[in-house]
Chains A and B, each alone.
Chain A
Amino acid sequence: MDDSAAREEVRSLLASGLVTEVFPRADSQDDALAITARLRGADGLRQKLVIAGFTLETIVYAGIEQPCSTCMYFLVHRRYCELSELKLPVEPEWSCRLWRM
């Protein structure tokens, strides 16, 4: 599946009301490690989105905007999340709880 189609599938799942674990955010390294460990055992795209807490809109947490566009795992031109456990096409304004800069 190419990036566009995969991105559209993600959008469709989230827009249809898929409930994801938006909170708690990965405040500490331990939190992030726990979430990525769960991601490694995820079964399919739907479960990945749930565990990572994806949203179609930017989450503001502790006064900091956390869009994919400023995340270290985001490839700007490809519009792609390069985190090994995700590796998903995304949009700049989306957000997940593994955001980091």
Chain B
Amino acid sequence: MSFLNAEEPSACDLVTDFGINILWHPSLGMELGDNLQKLLKSCASGQTALDILVFEGSVVNAPGGTGEWNRFAGRAMKDWVRDLCKVATFVVAVGDCATWGGIPATAPNPSESQGLQFLKRKAGGFLGTQYRSKAGLPVINVPGCPAHPDWITQIVVAVATGRGGEIALDDFQRPKTFFTSFTQTGCTRNMHFAYKVSATEFGQRKGCLFYDLGCRGPMTHSPCNRILWNRQSSKTRAGMPCLGCTEPEFPFQDLAPGTVFKTQTVMGIPKDMPTGVEKSGYIKLTSAAKAASPRWAEEDLFVV
């Protein structure tokens, strides 16, 4: 669904400007019932070329490894996934469920869900660590809950235009171009982060959301404040803490009561530090930054 909201390029651009033939999509696909089965079988047999398989959703293995809890087009979805991954030139996993297993794979994981090549942080997943698509690449992971639509379309275009082999991936097979910087990169609240001024309630325009409201922007890899949502804004710009949804551990603390929208602390110090920051350094920096904070940092200086 997020994909349909893409702007640069849009879903229509994929067809009109880049000549991509979208064989099937839950909302755009024309084939239903028997015709869809025929199409999928045609792809699986190699009769219809499958250049890019874009998969969304976790791979459900329950009950007992059969995958029957998630049937699609007449058989277990996982069986389609296995067959189509064998013939696809490139495989792209979109969203947390397809990449790491997502919320369905949260313990105790009753649906025995997996991502395509990961289960949370552990490599392997449904296809195993050795899996390579026909192009010789592992699954390209585009995580997020949801994934930003432009991340999806830009990766699809890169692959479709013959630049798939140039996509550098990080340790979690995410495109580095999107997932090297942090959600905090480009956040409009960075000056409040620097001066350790906290937002204490939703809707406050001043203050950083990291210190009290559980924002994971300083330790989450995503370009949410570089490639804006709807080309307009982002969670943190709108006063909503980052939930860290592009990281394998999402949802953090398994959504236990009291852990959502609340910075977890141990003896008053954040349990999860900004990436690369040590506890002793954090304490020193906080003391100095608060002492140096200017008056304007405590005031609502945003205007509409």
A interface residues with partner B (beta carbon < 8 Å) = 25-30, 32-33, 61-62, 64, 66, 69-70, 72-78, 82-84, 99-101
Indicate whether B1 reaches chain A with its CB closer than 8 angstroms.
Answer: no
Indicate whether B265 reaches chain A with its CB closer than 8 angstroms.
Answer: yes
Give chain B residues whose Cβ lies under 8 Å from the Cβ of A30: 258
Q: How far is the CA of A64 from the CA of B298 in the complex (A)?
A: 25
Question: Total contacts A to B, CB within 8 angstroms?
Answer: 69
Report 23 cross-chain contacts, Cβ distance below 8 Å, ordered by A residue.
A25-B267, A26-B265, A27-B266, A27-B267, A29-B265, A33-B262, A61-B267, A64-B283, A66-B268, A69-B287, A69-B290, A70-B287, A70-B290, A72-B196, A72-B212, A73-B198, A76-B293, A77-B298, A83-B200, A84-B200, A100-B269, A101-B268, A101-B282
Q: Are A29 and B268 in contact (CB under 8 A)?
A: no
Partner of B269, one of A33, A69, A101: A101
Indicate whether B37 reaches chain A with its CB closer than 8 angstroms.
Answer: no
Q: Are B298 and A101 in contact (CB under 8 A)?
A: no
Closest approach, in angstroms, between the C-beta of A8 and any C-beta of chain B?
22
Name the residue of chain A whose CB is nearest to the CB of B210. Answer: A72
Give chain A residues whose Cβ lies under 8 Å from the Cβ of B200: 73, 82-84
Indicate whether B303 reaches chain A with its CB closer than 8 angstroms.
Answer: no
Closest approach, in angstroms, between the C-beta of B205 and any C-beta of chain A?
14
The prevalent SS among residues of A at the interface is loop
Closest approach, in angstroms, between the C-beta of B183 and any C-beta of chain A?
20
Q: Are B268 and A64 in contact (CB under 8 A)?
A: yes
Q: Are A82 and B198 in contact (CB under 8 A)?
A: yes
Q: Are B211 and A72 in contact (CB under 8 A)?
A: yes
Q: How many residues of B contact A (CB 8 A)?
A: 27
Give chain A residues whose Cβ lies under 8 Å from the Cβ of B293: 76-77
Give chain A residues whose Cβ lies under 8 Å from the Cβ of B267: 25, 27, 61-62, 64
Give chain B residues whose Cβ lies under 8 Å from the Cβ of A32: 265
Give chain B residues whose Cβ lies under 8 Å from the Cβ of A82: 198, 200
Give chain A residues whose Cβ lies under 8 Å from the Cβ of B66: none
Indicate whether B89 reaches chain A with its CB closer than 8 angstroms.
Answer: no
Q: Are B265 and A28 in contact (CB under 8 A)?
A: yes
Indicate whether B48 reaches chain A with its CB closer than 8 angstroms.
Answer: no
Q: How far is the CA of A30 from the CA of B263 in the complex (A)?
A: 12
Indicate whether B291 reaches chain A with its CB closer than 8 angstroms.
Answer: yes
Q: How far is the CA of A76 from the CA of B201 in the complex (A)?
A: 18
Indicate whether B5 reaches chain A with its CB closer than 8 angstroms.
Answer: no
Q: How far is the CA of A73 from the CA of B298 in the complex (A)?
A: 11
Indicate whether B286 reaches chain A with its CB closer than 8 angstroms.
Answer: yes
Give chain B residues whose Cβ lies under 8 Å from the Cβ of A66: 268
Q: Are B258 and A101 in contact (CB under 8 A)?
A: no
Name the residue of chain A whose CB is nearest to the CB of B293. Answer: A76
Q: CB-CB contacts of B190-228 with A at 8 A, as 1s and 0s?
A: 000000111011000000000110000000000000000
